[in-house]
Structure 1
Amino acid sequence: MTHWKSLFNYDYLGVQCLPEGKDIVLTIKKTDRKEVPNSSGKKEECTILYFEENVKPLVLNKTNCKTMEKLFKTPLIEQWYGGRIQIGSARVNAFGEMVDALRIRPFIPKEKELIPVETNSTVWKDIIDALKSGYKLSTVQGKYRFTKDQIKELINYEIA
């Protein structure tokens, strides 16, 4: 299903960016200060949160900052770098109406266990076929655990 906001080109992460409305887990890369237009078009200085993953940055609000301070047990934003957060949608009262807003969940996301792959297995052959047909190595690395030698071999298939 298509969220109506996805029809417009927004520069920052919003609820329309959540795949099928599901939470996403991201790794904090850095923060920056930028002028961002607010809902009335007036520019205001905002803190922007960037991620290691290939997603749009997030405009940080006080609610999400307070959540991260509790998660990482520090108010110092530089100490949040490298931390993992889970972001989802929540209905909130803003500007006199109920709207969908991004909220950082109040817990550290669990790390997904990766499945080890034997080089001579059927799964290994399926992965190679997938890479040859256009899948990206980063996609399969999200599910499987590879040795350094396996990754070197798989890179050749991704490029081919």
Structure 2
Amino acid sequence: MNDTSKTHYRKAFDSPYLSSADIVEPTTLTVRRVTLEKDKTKKSKEQFNTAYFVEKEIRPGEPLKPMILNATNSKTMKALTGSAFIDDWNDVRITVYVDKNVRFGNESVEGLRISPKPPGRKQLTPSQKAQWESAKAAYKRDGNLEAVLARVDIGEDHQRQLIAECEPEREDEAS
């Protein structure tokens, strides 16, 4: 049995936030938004920077929880985005991993960290049907690939294919 199919002992504590129990390998996620909000566990009255993600599941059938951004992870977000303002941290791709040596008081514990390196960009191909259709819709809307290429990489051959797939439809619309 590998670690991805095992149950971490901390799952029993059912936190409303992403934790080291949820991450079994470095995981690339897309931050949808970050908000400053009160602790949902009600263990403190503090407010936290809380990241919500575009992805809905951490693994098939397992909902992805929001992540509290502690001071270390908030500083990493600032470095990745070039902005100290959480309002500017939307739509940022990050890699979350477990650091087994996070200092918590006098103890070393497992904690979530955001990698200071931006993750590799996704490579889009026609085999990724839903994303390919979204890219075509963006091309038709904008009349160019700029918005698409700002989010994903597409090889030159596939760029030509995407344009070719959209052009007949654009000509039909003009008729």
CA-to-aligned-CA distance 1:101-143 (integer Å, 9 cap, x gap): 00000110002334433xxxxxxxxxxxxxxxxxxxxxxx4xx
Using structure 2 for the length normalisation, give the TM-score: 0.61
- Equivalent pairs counted in the alignment come to 122
2:71 paired with 1:71: no
Q: Return the match for 1:56 from 65, 78, 81.
A: 65
Q: Return the match for 1:10 from 12, 15, 21.
A: 15
| Equivalent residue letter for 1:110 | G
Residue 86 of structure 1 aligns to a residue in which SS? strand
- Residues in 1 aligned to 2:71 and 2:132: alpha-carbon distance in whole angstroms: 41
- Residues in 2 aligned to 1:79 and 1:42: alpha-carbon distance in whole angstroms: 27
Gaps of 5+ in 1: 118-140, 150-160
- Residues in 1 aligned to 2:13 and 2:36: alpha-carbon distance in whole angstroms: 24
| Equivalent residue letter for 1:89 | V
The verdict on how the C-alpha distance between 1:53 and 1:147 changes in structure 2, with shifts beyond 3 A counting, is closer
The aligned counterpart of 2:45 is 43
Gaps of 5+ in 2: 1-5, 57-63, 135-175
- Residues in 2 aligned to 1:78 and 1:36: alpha-carbon distance in whole angstroms: 19
Shift of the alpha carbon at 1:29? 1.1
CA RMSD between the two structures: 2.5
Asked if the contact 2:16/2:40 (under 8 Å) is kept, the reply is no
Asked if the contact 2:17/2:66 (under 8 Å) is kept, the reply is yes
The verdict on how the C-alpha distance between 1:74 and 1:33 changes in structure 2, with shifts beyond 3 A counting, is closer
Asked if the contact 1:50/1:56 (under 8 Å) is kept, the reply is yes
The aligned counterpart of 2:92 is 83
- Residues in 1 aligned to 2:92 and 2:50: alpha-carbon distance in whole angstroms: 15
The verdict on how the C-alpha distance between 1:47 and 1:148 changes in structure 2, with shifts beyond 3 A counting, is closer
Using structure 1 for the length normalisation, give the TM-score: 0.67
The verdict on how the C-alpha distance between 1:145 and 1:35 changes in structure 2, with shifts beyond 3 A counting, is closer
CA-to-aligned-CA distance 1:2-61 (integer Å, 9 cap, x gap): 21111231100101111xx2011111111222221679x333222211111111101111
Q: Percent identity?
A: 31
